[in-house]
Amino acid sequence: MAWKFGARNPGPEPDPVELRVREQLATNKSTPLETLDELSSDPDHGVRMRVAANPSTPARRLSELSTDGDLNVRWAVARNLSTPVDALHKLSADADADVRQGVAGNGSASASTLRELCTDPDDRVRLYVAANWSTPVETLERLRTDRDDKVRCAVVRNTPRRSWLTRLSADPSAKVRSQVASCLRREEEDLLVRLSADPSAEVRCSVASNWSTPVETLKKLNTDPDREVYSAAYRSAQGLGVSVQNWQFWQ
């Protein structure tokens, strides 16, 4: 596991061979629980971080490590799917945004924890909540109108509901509308047809790349002034088995 934040331990360097053995034991999922117990209080931050990231580490040790003074250790606990729900909830209030981000992306986090994190001041934390498959629908509904377009894009990818896609297809951000165009299915072709006339080439290219787009719309997009758009329409039609004779394609 990579060292994420800052420097390693202060003071004299430990014996490198012995340290490497402890790191390997701390990382191995098959390490006996009693050994992981012992390593959870290792003086080396890197060893404790590896124990904190190990899914086999006992829950009680993960709870203890969630209050570790080292940021790397708490970050690893926050990302571990085996971390108890109550420990994750406490870490969601950590002063460091990277730790809160780890909780926000953890599929084991409770609905109440994710609900609180959806109003976090850090955009990255809210992005991870929006992308988390455990985030409840009502929390995603709040994030659907988030100020950050990357968060709104993540909502589209996570739960592409028809009513949300309809609203987000008119989002002021071309990135969001493009994400909607990429997620639409054949039964939502009316939205694809509407987005095919979007003023943004990025959005039209997403429509042209979507194999659910009606062939007539692809044919129209093949006359688009943007070469990326008309080439995407060509490739989609070709992939659908449509005759593309006389269609334009930029190489």
Residue 180 is predicted with a pLDDT of 96
Digits of tens for pLDDT over the chain (251 positions)?
Answer: 444 544 455 556 677 888 999 999 999 999 999 999 999 999 999 999 999 999 999 999 999 999 999 999 999 999 999 999 999 999 999 999 999 999 999 999 999 999 999 999 999 999 999 999 999 999 999 999 999 999 999 999 997 678 889 999 999 999 999 999 999 999 999 999 999 999 999 999 999 999 999 999 999 999 999 999 999 999 999 999 999 999 999 87
Q: Which CATH architecture has domain 160-244?
A: Alpha Horseshoe (1.25)
Length of the chain: 251
Residue 3 is predicted with a pLDDT of 47
Q: Please identify which residue in the block is written with the tokens 């202060």.
A: 10
Question: Is residue 180 classed exposed, middle or buried when 0-12, 13-18 and 19+ CB atoms within 10 A define those classes?
Answer: buried
In which element (H, E) is residue 133 found? none
SS3 assignment, position 16: helix
Distance CA 237, CA 241 (A): 6
Structure tokens at 168: 């987000």
What is the number of other CB atoms lying within 10 angstroms of the CB of residue 109?
28
Q: What is the pLDDT of residues 202-223, one digit of tens each?
A: 999 999 999 999 999 999 999 9
What is the number of other CB atoms lying within 10 angstroms of the CB of residue 53?
21
Residue 12 is predicted with a pLDDT of 60
Structure tokens at 123: 């955009």
Closest alpha carbon to 233 in 192, 249, 189: 249
Residue 13 is predicted with a pLDDT of 65
Q: Taking the model in full, what pTM does it have? A: 0.86
What is the number of other CB atoms lying within 10 angstroms of the CB of residue 201?
17
Sketch the domain layout of the chain as residue ranges.
25-82, 84-146, 160-244
